[in-house]
Amino acid sequence: MNVWWQGLNPRERLLVSLASAAALVALLFLLVVEPLQLRHGRLQDELAGQARALQSLQRLGEEAAALREGGAPRGRLAEGQTLLALLNASAGARGLSSGIERIVPNGSGEASVVVRGVPFDTLVAWLIALRTASGVEAQRLVVDSDGSAPGRINASLTLVATSAP
């Protein structure tokens, strides 16, 4: 190798030295710098996601503390609104209308509801919304799988307006 190097004229030695240095810099960039930059970008994305999660958890912690101190917030039925009208409207807004088999008023501020083939999560979200917005609570709830798809249920409920006007 030394003989080969000595056989090159000075201009060729300079050219080979510069090409070797450029190849070394490119290799250093490809093997060290670029992977570090990619990892840095992924870590920044992960950090941003964890910061969003932390904010969400802090907000939930504040809500939990408020609920421990004062109990769950409850709304009221609107003036002149019947429980039957509220149930029909809110079920429609939640996409449950097609799954409601029947709603039967059981007297003042109480109704029996039968649903078929509705997603469990949707039913629970509806019940939470009813309690929060209108003070309507499930007094009795019987749930069975409808067997058509995972998460779809049949349910029989007794709902009571706990904060009627």
**Matching residue, tokens 């070394």:** 24
Nearest-angstrom CA–CA distance, 4 and 7 = 5
Q: What is the pLDDT of residues 66-97, one digit of tens each?
A: 767 665 445 666 677 788 888 999 999 988 98
Give the pLDDT confidence score for residue 165 in this predicted structure. 45
**Matching residue, tokens 């080969």:** 4
Give the pLDDT confidence score for residue 71 in this predicted structure. 53
Give the pLDDT confidence score for residue 75 in this predicted structure. 60
Residue type, 9: N
Ranges of residues in the chain whose predicted pLDDT is under 50: 72-73, 164-165
Contact by Cβ (8 Å): 163, 75: yes
Exposure string over 140-159, b if 16+ CB within 10 A, otherwise e: eeeeeebeeeeebbbbbbbb
Percent of the chain residues past pLDDT 70, beyond the cut = 91
